[in-house]
Structure formats: structure tokens, C-alpha cells
Structure 1
Amino acid sequence: MVRNELYITVPSFFRCPISMDIMRSPVSLCTGITYDRSSIQHWLESGHDTCPATMQILPSKDFIPNHTLHRLIHLWIRSGDCSSPASRSTLMTSSSVIMSPRQVGSMIHEIETDGRDCAVLLSKIVEFVRYSDENRRFVANFDGFELKIVGVLSKTSAAINVLEMAISILNLIMEEDGAKERIHRLIIASNPNCLSSILSILENGSLNSKIESARLLESLAGAVEAKRVIAETQGLLSVLLNLLCFENDDLRDAVLSCLIATSATRSLKTQLVQFGLVHVLSKTLQEPTISISITEKSLKLLALLSTTAEGRLAISEEPKCAVAVVEKLAIKGSKAATEDGLVVLWSMCCLFQNVKVQDEVVKNNGVTKILVVMQRDCDGHVRRMCRDLVKILKLGYKDGLGRYETQTTHIMPC
């Protein structure tokens, strides 16, 4: 009787100052105050520019994970007697993490695509699968689990938060043995409902759920049939392109990866060109603080688009596109960016001999960059592209190359 009335006093610094619940993912603002990630994200995405605890104006809205506090919270949870109902109920947000497999199995059976308690059950399952690899393996191997979650995602009338949680769960278990193939088959079979729900999240969901949706689409695009389904989903490609204009590198990175995985067929590349992807990539490459990852993926997409007539025409007609590519040649620490940049220039200047692009390359010191790349320990195909580019640019623009050679005689084209 006494044990049923016991309760646990939660240390105050384990609680989020906003929700007052135990922090699941503690992160610290530049003010030094720590919050639960979901709470502070909701605060900032609601338009606030202050620290909730101090009300100071935030010079930066970035936050960093508080790994030390995260470990302390989990050590505290594990050190207590979490086996009793009383203990579990007092751990609040951590209660779903310490549920027994039997309890989780019972919740999975209760999931209904249109049930009133679906959101509550899904939120508990999200926390359970986030907690450990063992938990993810358990739910991924639970008979019919993926079918239940894809069933939720295919319910286009479901609330946006329910769809977001379904996406989170699918992403979390995707890498478990055999789960990816099963999820792919179920989503493709539900066409077009699941893709419509993903589109809805990309348009109206939270920032994190948009990133997770793009990652799920990237995974799906590995299947040939899925590429067709993605291409046929009205409005999906245009929404993805619009997301590239967001000032969030994590989102742009996820979308670029998704588009690369999707762009395997000529028809999809043509659609992307028609939607204005070359213009978006050109502007992205001209950003002064662009990350290496986004640079690499932007150039990879340009290289893919340059294999189509529509893509080459768009590249030649886009002001400063060739200049932006030249600027990214020989970028430090990125062999991929250099190679894909050369593919774009080689395709435009050598294979299809676009005079307009040739002129832009020479005018913007492109020959210098190409010769520098040749001096590096590069692969044979890269060296061959450099050699071809130097030859064709030298033939058409001897003066431009001559000016360079008189200043750097130690670099000679092969």
C-alpha cells in the first residue's frame, strides 16, 4: 500500500522552463538557458525572438544540444525504481520510454487510423522508439506495425500532428532489418494517399517534420516504381523546389538529397528544369556562406540536369550560373564538388560546345581553376575532363589562356 503512494521529486533543473516536464532533448540557447527542444522550437517558430526565461532579445536563434544534462536525466531515470506504476506515472514525459514491451504491443494494437486517441498513442510510441536501438528493433519486428503506421499516414483526413508523428516513426525504424523494403512496398501500394499526406506536411508541417518528410521521400526514391509515383503526385516537385528557398540549411540539405535521389529519369529531370531548378541552384551557389554539403549537392544536381537538352539550355541562359560553377572548382575539402563542377563545364563547353558558357568560363578565370585542379592528385577521368576543357578553351580563347601561362609557368596543360 505504501509503495503505491510513493512519488518521485524531479530535480528542478531537469524540467523544461516552458512545459515544466522532464526534458527529453535538452538544448541551450545563447543566453545559457536550457529548454526541451520541442518546446523552444515551438516558441521560436511562433515568431518570438526572446529567451522565454529571461525575455532577452536573442542575437541568434541557434541552439546546441546539452549532452551533459541529457546524460544526467537518463542516469537519474535509470537509477530510480521505474518498474512500479507509481514511478512510471511520476516520470511524466519519460513514462513512454520505460514502458514494457507488452505495454507497447498493447498500444500498437489499439492504433486506429481515425480513432480519437491515435495522437496520444503515437506520441508515446515516438518517444519509445527514439529512446534506444533496442526499442526500435522491437517495434520494427512487431507483426503488422509498419502496416498500422502507413495506414495512419495514408489517412489524408488525419490531423497534421498525427501525420507528422507517423513520419517520425517511419524514419526512426527505417534502418532496422527489412523495415525499409516493407515500408516502401506499403507506401507505394497506398498511392496516392501517403504521398498526398507527405505533400501536406511539406506545405503545412513544422520545420522538423518537413526535413523528415524529405528524408522519407529520398529513401523511397531508391525504388524505380516510387520515382514514378513521386513524379505523378501533383504539386510535390514544385513544393520541394519552394523549400530550397527557406533559410534553413538542414531543410535545404534534406531537399537537395531528395531531389538527387529522385532525378534518375529523363522525364523527372525535365520536370525539374521546367519548374526552375537551375535558377534556384544558381542562386544557391552564389551565396557567400554556403556550406560544403549544400555546394556539393547543388553541383551534383546541376551535373544531372546537364545531361538533358532542357537542362543545358537553362544553364546557358541562366545569368552567372557558369560563373558560380567556376567559383566552386578546386574548393577545399570537397572532391565531389570539384568533380561535379567539372562535369557541368565539360558537358556545356566540350560535349555540346556552348559558346556562351565557354566565354563565361574564360572571362571568369575558369582556365586558371581548371589548371589548378589538374595539378592535384585527381582521378584519370577528372584529368581527362580538365585536359579537354583546356584544349577547347585554348583553341577559342588563346589570349585568355596566354595571360595565365605567362604568370604561372610551373603549371602546364597536358
Structure 2
Amino acid sequence: MVRDDLYITVPSLFRCPISLDVMKSPVSLCTGVTYDRSSIQRWLDNGNNTCPATMQILQTKDFVPNRTLQRLIQIWSDSVRHRVDSTDSIISNESVDKRDQLLVAITDLESGSENRFESLEKIVRFAKDSEENSVFLAKTEGFVALLVGFLDNVDGGVERSVELLEQVVVALDLVLSKIENRDSILKSQKEKEVQSLDSLLLVLKQGSCESKIASVRVLKSIAVDTESKLLIAEKEGLVSELLKLIMPEKDQNLIENALSCLVAISTPKRNKLKLIHLGAVKVFSNLLTSPSNLCVSVTEKLLKLLETVSSTKEGRSEICEEPSCVAAIVNKVLKVSTVATEHAVTILWSVCYLFRDQKAQEAVTKANGLTKILLLMQSNCTPQVRQMSVDLLKIFRVNSKSCLSSYDTKTTHIMPF
């Protein structure tokens, strides 16, 4: 007796138009129609010079293997075999149909079908349904490369292109994290990466909040080495657009992902200088001093970026020109997290001790920074943070009326706020 839940529905695209059986070796004629090799060979050997499905006269009787369709048929066949062999679990007809429909949608994408937008929507819905579905897509050979290819070849009107690209980047974001050897897939697109950046920039400018987040996350995934980081930063308008995403009024999830991307690409010195030139310090300062409640991870990333630019002379100069920025950095010491405190102290050490900027020193003093540094030294901080705190105390010239001259190192009564 055959169980109903193991009833198999064969996707129509997997059937040969001649034999109506699942194709074992799909090949395509010059008309674009795909047949099983044995069936079309028999048709041609019988003296026919037309395409059986369209009845068009063939300009050539040569055919080419349809590797993509063959791969999808193999994946589908393996999936069917697994369902039939498994006795421990029952997979519903609905699950079977969804996976089969997905493979048909991928085939539509590969063939350049006019339904590709609808196919992408189906794929995105499928990936969002469950973690298992995202893993299935990630393991589908050639699927990620197919999506990346869409970033390089988008036609039609701008409006339609943006809609299509939004679906592409969301789909990419859903599966990239499930790929073990992600670097090799993205590096294989090096020669086309400039066009990919054009598409990602278009989504950042015109996409929805969801697709912007996905685009930023894909950008971060591309930044796998120095070459890619430089390429991203040198793309005209891209870094500027990322900076626009971290305004106080923006969605906090979007802000956090944009900051993560900037952290990822900011390591080369050339990129640090680019950020400084584009006014990143002021942007970071505005967000850090905004009245909106920033989550811990956003604050940590902001301070990390300020620490990164403070490693350059130009960056330290820009920070010192923003007294409110220095005060805000002091305010984060001992208040947010251990990571945030370490970033903040490193920045203050750079501008006050290394750069010896008078404005920065005054801003630290006015913001009650000396008390916080003293408290920090009493805490269980790392040796590096403790040494930077000692260095900071050395540079402040104190007189008999200062808070330091009357401070007893054995007391513990000073409160941070």
C-alpha cells in the first residue's frame, strides 16, 4: 500500500516534451527548448529537421547540455529518494510541493524567463519560512553564483530593476551565512565586482529598509580581503550612502548593520582617510550625542569606528575639533559595556596623550573624565586599559586645588555619576 504523503509530483519542466519522462540528460536545441538526449536524438535520426515542441525549422541540429536543469533534476531526485527511504519522518505533500516549486523557480531564473521577478519572490518566501529552507538553498549548487550574476546583469527600466535587485539581495542575505566556503563564491566574481557594487548602491539609494539592510550585509560579506575593502570604499558614492544610513532618525537595525559594514571596510589606511574626508567623524559624533537611546551594540560599533579613525593624525584632529564628541566618549566610560569602555579609553589616550591636544584635554576635564579614569584604574580592567589610564593621568597638570591633589588612592567612595 502506497502512503499518500509519499505521492510524488514531477515538475513539468523536468519532463521531456517527447517522452514525458523525467529527463536523464537534458539538452537544448537552438530554439531554446530542452529535451532528453535520447529522445531528441531519435527524432533527429529519423530525418526530422524541426523542433518537436515549436515545429520551427532548425538552423542547426546541434544541441548543448543543459547543465543547470540537469543539476536541479538531480537535486530533486535525491530529495525524492530521501523522502521515500525515510521511515522516521513524514513529509507532507505541501512541503514536497514547495521544494519542487522552488526548483522550478530556480530553473526559470537560469533560463531568463519573464517570470523571474515572481520566481525570486517565491524563493525569498521559501528561504524565510525556515532555517532548513535557507540551508537547502545554500547547498543548491550554482544558486548563489546565479544570484550574484543578477547583480551584474539587470535590464529593463530603473524602477523594475530596483524591485528585482531588492529580491536578489534579500535572497543573497538569507543564504550567504549558511555557506561554508563563502569566500570562494564571492571571489569568483572579482572581475564583475564593480557592476555588483553598482547594483548594491542602487538598492541603498532606492530600496526599502529591509532590502537596504540586506544590501549592507551583502557588502560586508564581500569585504573578505584588503582588495575588496578598497574596491568598496573607492566606489563613487558608496561610502557616502552608508554614512547616510546612520542618522539618528533611521531604523536602529539599519544603523547597526551599516556600522558593521563600515567597521569591516575601515581597516586599510586609505579607507580610514576616505571616511575622515567624507565627514564621518561628525556623523559618528551626531549619533553618539543624539537623544535617542542607542543599544549597546550600536554604541560599541560607533566607538570602534572612532577608535579606528583616531589611529591616524587626520582622524585625531577631526575628533579634537568636535568637543561634544570628546565629552560623549568620556560619558561612555564605565557606562555601556567593557568593550565600549576599552574603545573609549583608547580614543581618549590617542587624542589626549598621543596627540596632546589641548581642546581634547579640556573637554575631558569638563566632562568629569579624570574621576572616571581614576575609578577605571580601581576596577578590574585589562592591563592595556590600566596603562592607558596611567598615561592619561600623567598629562594633566594639576595644582593644589585640583581634584587629583586631594585624591586618596586608598579610598573607594568616588561614584561615577
Same fold (TM over 0.5): yes
TM-score by length of 1: 0.72
What is the CA distance between 1:104 and its match in structure 2?
A: 2.4
RMSD: 2.5
The 1:81/1:142 distance shift into structure 2, 3 A limit, reads closer
Q: Secondary structure at the match of 1:388?
A: helix
**CA deviations over 1:55-110 (Å, ceiling 9, x no partner):** xxxxxxxxxxxxxxxxxxxxxxxxx9952xxxx5xxxxxxxx65354442232122
Query: What is the CA-CA distance between 1:391 and the residue it aligns to?
Result: 1.7
Offset at residue 400 of structure 1 (A): 3.7
Query: Matches of residues 139-178 of structure 1 in structure 2 within 5 Å?
Result: 139-157=137-155, 159-178=161-180
Separation in 2, partners of 1:303, 1:398: 33
**1:297 Cα deviation after fit:** 0.9
For 1:126, give the aligned amino acid. Answer: V
2:128 alignment partner, SS class: helix
Q: Which residue of 1 aligns with 2:129?
A: 131
Quick check: 1:270 aligned with 2:268? no
Deviation string for 1:310-331 (max 9, x for gaps)?
1011011123111111111111
Offset of residue 372 of structure 1? 1.4
Give me the whole-angstrom Cα distance separating, in 1, the residues matched to 2:213 and 2:303. Answer: 21
Deviations 1:133-186 (A, max 9, x none): 332222222221112111112224362121111111111111224352244224
CA contact (8 A) 2:334 2:341 kept: yes
Partner deviation per Cα, 1:241-298 (whole Å, 9 max, x = no partner): 1111143111111111110111011110101011111001111111232222221111
Q: Please give the secondary structure, in 1, of the residue aligned with 2:403.
A: helix
**Does residue 1:302 correspond to 2:272, yes or no?**
no
Q: Report the identity percentage.
A: 36
Partners of 1:411 and 1:371 in 2: CA distance: 11
Please say if 1:390 is aligned against 2:362. no
Distance 1:390 1:131, change over 3 A: same
**Aligned-pair CA distance for 1:114:** 5.6
2:365 is aligned with 1:362: yes
What residue is the counterpart of 1:260 in the other structure? 263
Q: Distance in 2 between matches of 1:323 and 1:200?
A: 37
Q: Which moved more, 1:113-122 or 1:343-352?
A: 113-122
Contact 1:129 1:136 in 2 (8 A): yes
Please, which moves more after superposition, 209-218 or 179-188?
179-188
| Amino acid across the alignment from 1:119 | F
Q: Say whether the 8 Å CA contact 1:201–1:213 is kept in structure 2.
A: yes
Q: How far apart are the structure 2 equivalents of 1:196 and 1:406? A: 60
Give, as a single letter, the amino acid of the residue that structure 1 aligns with 2:191: A
Measured after TM superposition, the shift of residue 396 of structure 1 is: 5.6
Distance 1:229 1:156 in 2: 21
Could you tell me which runs of 5 or more consecutive residues in structure 1 were left unpaired when the two chains were aligned: 4-79, 89-96
1:347 and 2:350 equivalent?
yes
- 2:285 aligned with 1:287, yes or no? no
Do the aligned partners of residues 316 and 398 (structure 1) sit closer, same or farther apart at CA in structure 2, a change above 3 Å counting?
farther
- The equivalent residue for 1:326 is 330
Q: Residue 204 of structure 2 contacts residue 215 of structure 2 at CA under 8 Å; is this kept in 1?
A: yes
Q: Decide which moves more: 142-151 or 118-127.
A: 142-151
Match of 2:105, SS? helix
CA distance in 2, matches of 1:278, 1:331: 21
AA matched with 1:157: D
User: Which 10-residue stretch deviates more, 216-225 or 178-187?
Assistant: 178-187
Q: Secondary structure at the match of 1:345?
A: helix
Give, in whole Å, the separation in 2 of the partners of 1:390 and 1:275.
Answer: 33
Cα offset, 1:344, TM superposition: 0.3
Are the counterparts in 2 of residues 140 and 179 from structure 1 also a CA contact under 8 Å? no
Mapped partners of 1:232, 1:274: distance in 2: 13
- The 1:404/1:174 distance shift into structure 2, 3 A limit, reads farther
- CA distance in 1 between counterparts of 2:201 and 2:406 reads 51
Structure 2 counterpart of 1:201: 203
Decide whether aligned partners of structure 1 residues 302 and 399 sit closer, same or farther in structure 2, where only a CA change above 3 A counts: farther
1: CA distance, partners of 2:110 / 2:148: 11
- Superposed displacement of residue 130, structure 1: 1.9
Question: What SS does the corresponding residue of 1:369 show, helix, strand or coil?
Answer: helix
Q: Tell whether the 8 Å contact from 2:233 to 2:239 is kept in structure 1 after alignment.
A: yes
8 Å Cα contact 2:399-2:405 kept in structure 1: no
1: CA distance, partners of 2:91 / 2:103: 22
Structure 1 or 2, whichever has the larger Rg, is 2
- Letter paired with 1:149: L
**Structure 1 counterpart SS, 2:404:** helix
Q: Aligned residue for 1:337? A: 340
8 A contact 1:322–1:361 mirrored in 2: yes
Counterparts of 1:404 and 1:98, CA distance in 2: 77
